[in-house]
Amino acid sequence: MKKLNKKVVVFSGSGMSAESGISTFRDTGGLWEQYRIEEVATPDAWRRNPDMVQTFYNMRRKQILEAEPNGAHRAIAELEKEFPLVVITQNIDDLHERAGSGNVVHLHGNITQAKSSGPDPDKKYYPIKGWELNLTDLCEDGYPLRPHVVWFGESVHMYNTARGEIENADILIVIGTSLQVYPAAGLIHYAPSHALKFLIDPHADELTVPGDFICLHHEATTGIRECIGLIKEKGDRF
118 and 194 in one domain? no
141 and 44 in one domain? yes
183 and 203 in one domain? yes
**Last residue in a domain, options 149, 172, 202:** 149
13 and 29 in one domain? no
229 and 136 in one domain? no
| pLDDT value of position 30 | 56
| pLDDT value of position 235 | 65
125 and 34 in one domain? yes
Closest CA to 171 of 74, 79, 107: 79
Spell out the per-residue pLDDT of the chain, length 238, in tens: 556 789 999 999 999 999 999 976 555 555 566 778 889 999 999 999 999 999 999 999 999 999 999 999 999 999 999 999 999 999 999 999 999 999 999 999 999 999 999 999 999 999 999 999 999 999 999 999 999 999 999 999 999 999 999 999 999 999 999 888 788 889 999 999 999 999 999 988 888 888 999 999 999 999 999 999 999 887 655 5
Structural domain count of the chain: 2
140 and 59 in one domain? yes
Q: What is the CATH number of the domain that holds 232?
A: 3.40.50.1220
| pLDDT value of position 178 | 84
Q: What helix, strand, coil percent values describe the chain, rounded to 5?
A: 35, 20, 45
Edge-first strand order for the sheet with 196-200 is 104-106, 85-89, 8-12, 171-175, 196-200, 213-216
| Contact between residue 83 and residue 8 where contact means Cβ atoms under 8 Å apart | yes
Phi, psi of 198 (to 5 degrees): -125, 145
DSSP letter for each residue of 183-223: TGGGGGGGS-TTSEEEEE-TTGGGS---TTEEEE-S-HHHH
39-49: string of b/e by CB count within 10 Å (b at 16+)?
ebbbeebbeee
Report residue 16 CA to chain centroid gap. 8
Q: What angle do CA 191, 192, 196 make, to 5 degrees?
A: 80
- Burial label for 103, CB within 10 Å (0-12, 13-18, 19+), is middle
200 and 103 in one domain? yes
231 and 174 in one domain? yes
Q: Give the type of residue at 90.
A: Q
Q: What is the CATH number of the domain that holds 49?
A: 3.30.1600.10
122 and 90 in one domain? no
134 and 206 in one domain? no
In the Cβ-directed half-sphere of 88, how many Cα atoms lie within 13 Å?
Answer: 26
Looking at the annotation, which residues are catalytic?
A: 108
C-alpha distance from residue 183 to each of 9, 39, 188 (Å): 18, 22, 10
Q: Which domain holds residue 125?
A: 23-66+114-149
| pLDDT value of position 24 | 63
118 and 174 in one domain? no
**Last residue in a domain, options 122, 149, 176:** 149
| pLDDT value of position 225 | 97
